[in-house]
Amino acid sequence: MVLRFKYPDEWSCECGRRHRVPLREVVVEENALLRAAEIIDRLHLGRNCLIVEDHATKIIAGDQVRGALTDAGYSVSEAIIERADMASVERARQQLRGYDFSMAVGGGTPIDVAKLATHRSHVPFVSVPTALSHDGIASPIASIAQNRAKTSLLAHPPIAVIADPQILVKAPNRMIAAGYGDLVSKATSVKDWELGRDEKGEYYCKRAATLAFQAMADVVRATKAPWSKEGARELLEALLNCGASMILAASSRPCSGAEHLFSHFLDAHAERPAMHGEQCGLGTILMAKHHEDHNPNWWKEPEFQWQNIKRILRNIEPELSLREIGIDENVAARALLEAANLRPDRYTILHKRPLTKAEAIFLLEQTSIA
């Protein structure tokens, strides 16, 4: 498993666009956080840092980052974030005044908030993941709650990623399963993007699509245990490659299709939404089956069929189901019927072949994920 995005800083692509990859350094090793000052020195980001974290990630890694920077003579302050919403983004943006850069320490919430706040403040940020539950670690997309629903907003990617596998493997299995759920969703999101290209003339970048697909394929074919340090490194690299694919596309399109619309609908309508990656993983099982039935260009390889995707996710979280993550089956059926309306501009298998209520219920029964 290798990082697949070592491209020039900027170049003209065969897709017709000029790509720029601002991600300049990725450090994944034990005790990497102790080297934070050394890495920041190389990047010439300045001497004043705002660490964006939540209460848990402050203990897990934030205090370690602060200590490393303070010992090296950096001026460091902290912003504690509880929710990934616009109010938190604005508070972080206000706190960023006078700071040269930010370190985003956490899972999804601190990274999403820092990503958008630094983008609006025109300062760089460094991503320090403490869990591998999503593919936003290095992407330019911030998932921010607005009016209860999650909204994907274009921001900017980190200038660097610093990660310690010793920290990542301590995350609960449920978070690792969520990371795999977000990762395997590329099986359906890439095919949805191809549908948009072929049937709607949508912009498409082969390099971005291949990067997202190959990241997913690397892990699907990997042999390392997901909860081992080697497995964590492989999952992290795959999620970073997915982030890079979104940098190339300047959107979430390579990594977000009908399965993400399914998850976004649950975010807005479920009584208690589950983790993003869990919802996307279950959505991928459903959409893979729907693609197999109605898209002649679905993958031919056995490892990308819906039964195998389900097997991969349940190897990590054996009880993974709608019931287990607290999602009502009726809400899931509604998501299959109505999720396409959330983004009529993003053509997917749900737009190509809408489901009836009876078909939605039957699809849930066929895949046995309820």
Note the pLDDT tens digit of each residue in 119-154.
999 999 999 999 999 999 999 999 998 876 788 899
For residue 268, tell me if it sits in a domain. Answer: yes
Q: Are residues 296 and 327 in the same domain?
A: yes
Q: What is the DSSP letter of 84?
A: -
pLDDT for 2 equals 60
Q: What is the DSSP letter of 303?
A: G
Q: Are residues 123 and 211 in the same domain?
A: no
Q: Are residues 80 and 226 in the same domain?
A: no
For residue 13, tell me if it sits in a domain. Answer: no
Averaged over 194-204, what is the pLDDT? 98
Rounded Cα distance, 185 and 4, in Å: 19
Least confident of 4-13, 56-65, 102-111: 4-13
Beta-strand ranges (E) seen in the chain are 10-12, 18-20, 25-28, 48-53, 75-80, 101-106, 125-129, 141-146, 149-154, 160-163
The tokens for 240 are 């970073």
Q: Are residues 164 and 209 in the same domain?
A: no
Rounded Cα distance, 46 and 34, in Å: 18
- Alpha carbon 7 to its chain centroid, in Å, reads 21
For residue 192, tell me if it sits in a domain. Answer: yes
Residue type, 182: D
pTM of the predicted model, to two decimals? 0.94
Q: Are residues 193 and 99 in the same domain?
A: no
Q: Are residues 140 and 47 in the same domain?
A: yes
Q: Are residues 205 and 345 in the same domain?
A: yes
Tens of pLDDT, residues 55-87: 999 999 999 999 999 999 999 999 999 999 999
Rounded Cα distance, 195 and 95, in Å: 43
- Looking at residue 149, which CATH number applies to its domain? 3.40.50.1970
Q: Are residues 337 and 221 in the same domain?
A: yes
pLDDT for 180 equals 95
Q: Are residues 313 and 196 in the same domain?
A: yes
Q: Are residues 126 and 83 in the same domain?
A: yes
Beta-strand ranges (E) seen in 125-189 are 125-129, 141-146, 149-154, 160-163
Tens of pLDDT, residues 156-175: 999 999 999 999 999 988 99
Q: How many residues does the chain have?
A: 370
Tens of pLDDT, residues 201-258: 999 999 999 999 999 998 888 767 777 888 888 999 999 999 999 999 999 999 999 9
What range defines the domain where residue 157 resides? 31-168
Q: Are residues 363 and 218 in the same domain?
A: yes
Confidence of residue 108 (pLDDT cuts 50, 70, 90): confident
